[in-house]
Amino acid sequence: MGSQYNDENIRVLIADDDEYILQAYRDAFADTESTQAMRALDELAAELFDTTDSDDDEPHFDVVACSQGDDAISLAEKAANEGHPFDVVILDVRMPPGIDGVETGCRIRELDPDVEIVFVTGFSDVPLEELQRRVPPPLKLHYFNKPLSFSRLAQDVASMVREH
């Protein structure tokens, strides 16, 4: 979303060729105005009262979105080089006219073996077993079918990062 990073935020890269879908992702991962206000109050209280504990268990996301696989690879490489790699990469399996999500995932995995990769597709033309073979390790690989609940996906992404 911006060039400032908070180490406590979950960094998410999303690549999908459908702008409507990208906006749905942005909305699902966005802080609401009330969440932003509460976070600002928590930060102020921590500064005034010299506390670092917060009861805020809500995940906060730094989201970067693009529409093509090549762009996702460039963004992942840049983030890694700057010392702020993505925690999770969400890829549409089909992103014409460029490289598909599977190839994108392979290349991003080469850049960052620790990143959680989530494949999302409306088609079942790439079996899960093939994805696991091409983009190992299977424990850092996730697969969701469209249509999906974007807010549920945001919860799942937070869980993926917290578990590792």
CATH number at residue 137: 3.40.50.2300
pLDDT tens across 13-60, in order?
999 999 999 999 999 998 754 444 445 555 666 677 766 555 456 778
Q: Within a 10 A sphere around the Cβ of 152, how many other Cβ atoms? A: 11
Q: Which domain holds residue 95?
A: 10-30+60-163
Within 13 A of 23's CA, how many CA atoms are on the CB side?
A: 3
Within a domain: 47: no
| Total residues found in the chain within this entry | 164
Within a domain: 117: yes
What pTM did the predictor assign? 0.80
Within a domain: 108: yes
Residues 132, 102 contacting (CB under 8 angstroms): no
Cis peptide bond upstream of 147, omega within 30: yes
* Long-range pairs, 75-79, Cβ under 8 A, ≥24: 75/13, 76/13, 76/108, 76/111, 76/112, 76/115, 77/111, 79/11, 79/13
Within a domain: 128: yes
Report the domain count for the chain: 1
